[in-house]
Structure 1
Amino acid sequence: CPASYSNWVLYIFNQETMFFASFFWAFFHSALAPGVALGFFWPQEVYTMPCWGLPLLNTSLLLSTVFPCNMAQAAIKAGELKIALNTLGLVMFLGGCFVLVQGYEIFTAKFTLADGVYGCCFFSLTGLHGLH
């Protein structure tokens, strides 16, 4: 792997890390130390997203793609194209399910982007995470 390639990979990784860290910083800064602008209350009369329903399902969907993805990589290295295509198809199916559940979660949320810092951070983080 040429040095310029690894430098680009490191650059993109650091850029993504700092990008998402800034959104998490805004979320936790507002959640742990709500200021005058938030009325010293977090979240400001907003219905928060429960963590055990759809978010847990989406986390499970994402984690369930790890094994078939690694299996596909091993199959490609071994020259087993049929196994690789089948497992990559499974990964794509699970990814599609994740996107559908995420879309359902976003469209049925009881808060909006205009509901202050909580809504802004939630929709920015979930939307940008889905895009990347």
Structure 2
Amino acid sequence: MRSPFHLVEKSPWPFLCSISVVCVAVGLVEWMSGGSLHLLVFSWLLLVMVLCQWLRDVVRESDQGWHTSYVASNIRFGMVLFILSEFFFFFSFFWAFFSCSLVPDVEVGGVWPPVGIMPLNVFSIPLLGSAVLLGSGVTATWCHHAVMSGNREEAIYGLVMTIFLGFYFTFLQVLEYTGCTFTIADSVYGSLFYVMTGFHGVHVIVGSVMLLVGLFRLVNHGFSSVRHLGLEVSIWYWHFVDVVWIFLYLCVYWWGGGV
């Protein structure tokens, strides 16, 4: 009798993914310190290759029927725990932000934003980015409901729009960084601003890639109204990214920017 549980085979992808992520971090620091781009480019290529192979194996397991109802339930629970860990990850940054902003030290002039810092206009690119990201949450929900109702064509439209808005938000964030008058080295405000928004941007890119994989499977009839686990957890993650941005916009841009 076949067991409802699935024990995955030994895989090199988690180890190689960890190595490539460390190389990306080291390459990024080297490039920002005035070094070459060779390590950063190589490590990014290695990371993309590893992720493609890893996702291929996961999709293959699903297509072979290994993701039974028991396995799917555990995957959903694992995704909930992962999102919870990401919540505490960002919570630590918000804790540091309010610790510095509510009682500013004399080193920053005793005021917030610190003396010499010119915050971004909250009603310009940040507001547009907020509208774009919240709109992507609406289209992601549209896609999810379309999949559950068996409307594949509408689901594809909704997912394409979500991915487009996600990459457009990333473009707006890059545009925002180029227009900043302060850097990551400009007091605690610059450090917190770039770390918080930068990590959120990384999460947006990761979520966009997850949705791209879901789009590929959706176009190739990889999902049905009752079996769409990969797309479902990707949309959960995307909604988490939306919620984090709402707090970032209200706390860092609006309140923290001295509006």
Q: TM-score, normalised by structure 2?
A: 0.47
Distance of 1:69 and 1:78 partners within structure 2:
14
What residue identity is the alignment partner of 1:67?
A: V
1:74 matched to 2:145? The reply is: yes
Quick one: higher RCO (CA 8 Å, sep 6+), 1 or 2?
A: 1
> Which of 159, 172, 183 is 1:112 aligned to?
183
**Is the CA contact (8 Å cut-off) linking 1:68 and 1:91 kept in structure 2?**
yes
Residues 1:4 and 1:66: Cα distance change in structure 2 (over 3 Å): closer
1:8 matched to 2:78? The reply is: yes
**Is the CA contact (8 Å cut-off) linking 1:72 and 1:85 kept in structure 2?**
yes
Residues 1:116 and 1:59: Cα distance change in structure 2 (over 3 Å): same
Query: SS in structure 2 opposite 1:111?
Result: coil
Name whichever of 74-83 and 99-108 sits farther off: 74-83
Can you list the C-alpha shifts for 1:55-93, whole angstroms capped at 9, x where unaligned?
A: 111110011112221111122122222211111111111
Residues 1:96 and 1:10: Cα distance change in structure 2 (over 3 Å): closer
Distance of 1:26 and 1:44 partners within structure 2:
19
Offset at residue 4 of structure 1 (A): 4.3
Structure 1 residue ranges without an equivalent (≥5): none
Query: SS in structure 1 opposite 2:177?
Result: helix
Q: Which residue does the alignment assign to 1:36?
A: 106
Name whichever of 33-42 and 93-102 sits farther off: 33-42
Structure 2 residue ranges without an equivalent (≥5): 1-68, 204-259
Q: Which residue does the alignment assign to 1:49?
A: 120
> Which of 170, 173, 190 is 1:102 aligned to?
173
Count of aligned residue pairs for this structure pair: 132
Distance of 2:138 and 2:97 partners within structure 1:
31
Distance of 2:179 and 2:125 partners within structure 1:
11
The 4+ residue runs of structure 1 with deviation greater than 6 A are none
Q: Which has the larger radius of gyration?
A: 2
Distance of 1:70 and 1:129 partners within structure 2:
20
Offset at residue 41 of structure 1 (A): 2.9
1:124 matched to 2:168? The reply is: no
Residues 1:60 and 1:13: Cα distance change in structure 2 (over 3 Å): same
Distance of 2:144 and 2:79 partners within structure 1:
20
Offset at residue 6 of structure 1 (A): 4.9
